[in-house]
Amino acid sequence: MSLPGIVETELAGLGGIRPFDVHAHTGTDVDGTSRSSGEHLRDLEALNGRSVVFPLCVTTGYEAENRRVVGECRRHPDMLVPFARLDPKVSSAPDAEAALAGGARGFKLHPRSEAFDLGHHNVGQIVGVAAEARAPVLIHAGTGVGSFGSTIVELAEDHPQCPLILAHAGVCDLSWLCRVVPEHPNLFFDTAWMVPADLLALFALVPPGRILYGSDAPYMKPDLLTVVALRCAQFTGLSPDAIALVMGGQLERLLAADGALDAGPAPGPAATALSPGESRVVSLLGGVGGCMLGGGDPSQLLELADLALVADPAIGGGSDDVLAELIEVCRSPSPDAIPALVLALTLAATPRHMSEVPVG
């Protein structure tokens, strides 16, 4: 079975949920990545989904790019919602007000790409405008920013009417932020991240009402990230109602300024640990990821992961054949190699036989 076929099989359990992605880009990035609205719409149609969209990184200013995104969204209002991307080094309150007046429904801030500190005075101005409109602000909180430290909590306290969404599971500060989230009802996290261990931690440590589905398209495909988010949420033990909130229900409320629903406390870790064999496969595949992303040779680790599957046919709740197929894709030089690894890691880390929560 091909990677798309495996993803399609996984999505068959989606049920009646229509995913609503809080984190997607269109345009052309300075790194050469490009994504047209047509390409994004095709991916959404395959999922019967919707999406927030904003521009990829450019060096020529965001005014024209934000207008482009608003125009795309106006042509497809049932599927696309525009956020304006702003660079606080050159944009402040008047720019944020103009963006909202022009049709934006929220803002995207990227401290790494635009090289600004979250304590920059214009960040507070932009968040203040968003708070007045009760519009969300999505902030890059993945790699390359270090720790935001107390700044993110101070922003949340100073602007309680603004939903602050930390992208990429807030991995730069998740280890401590998870402990103070209950005290800050306007702090949220998105799932736009490719490491299942981090997402399992997110779902275990953060109340489900504070988690929003995101894909980071085009850097990851929405269908794959939907599978990853659903598997991690199910394995952690979230109820169908909580999963529906994560997959779009809460985002709808935030965009409508209706206030977030409380879906209860964080559930804590999954009830059952992985078996020794399953833990070995997860560890080996994690090492493969390090090799692939670092430009090394993952072939020996892939061989060991394959041998571990042969030795323990119960791994993954009987999904060892699928894992073997994904490992074979990881060996290829195709663009599917890293997505296949992400899915293999997810399947290995969330075996169905241990936790099966129906969706929908």
| Residues paired with residue 34 on neighbouring β-strands, in sequence order | 28
Nearest CA to 155 among 111, 190, 103, 199?
111
Where b means 16+ CB within 10 Å and e means fewer, 267-295 reads beebeeebbebbebbbbbbbbbbebbeee
pTM of the model: 0.94
Residue 356: pLDDT band (50, 70, 90) is very low
pLDDT computed for residue 358 by the predictor? 43
Closest to 156 in 3D by CA, of 117, 119, 120, 127: 127
pLDDT digits (tens, 9 = 90+) for 128-166: 999 999 999 999 999 999 999 999 999 999 999 999 999
Q: Mean pLDDT over residues 301-316, rounded?
A: 80
What domains sit in the chain, N to C, each tagged with a CATH number? 18-255 (3.20.20.140), 276-349 (no CATH)
Q: Measured at the alpha carbon of residue 178, what is the angle toward residues 172 and 181, in degrees to the nearest 5?
A: 115
Dist CA 351 CA 282 (whole Å): 11
Query: Tokens 């020794």, residue?
Result: 276
Question: What are the angstrom distances between the C-alpha of 173 and each of 73, 161, 181, 192?
Answer: 32, 22, 11, 15
CB 118 within 8 A of CB 150: no
| Rounded Cα–Cα distance for residues 69 and 81 (Å) | 9
Mean pLDDT calculated for residue range 318-322: 68
HSE (side-chain half, CA atoms, 13 Å) at 224: 24
- pLDDT tens per residue across span 270-308: 877 788 888 999 999 999 999 998 889 999 999 999 998
State yes or no: cis peptide before 298, omega within 30 of 0: no
Average pLDDT taken over every residue of the chain: 92
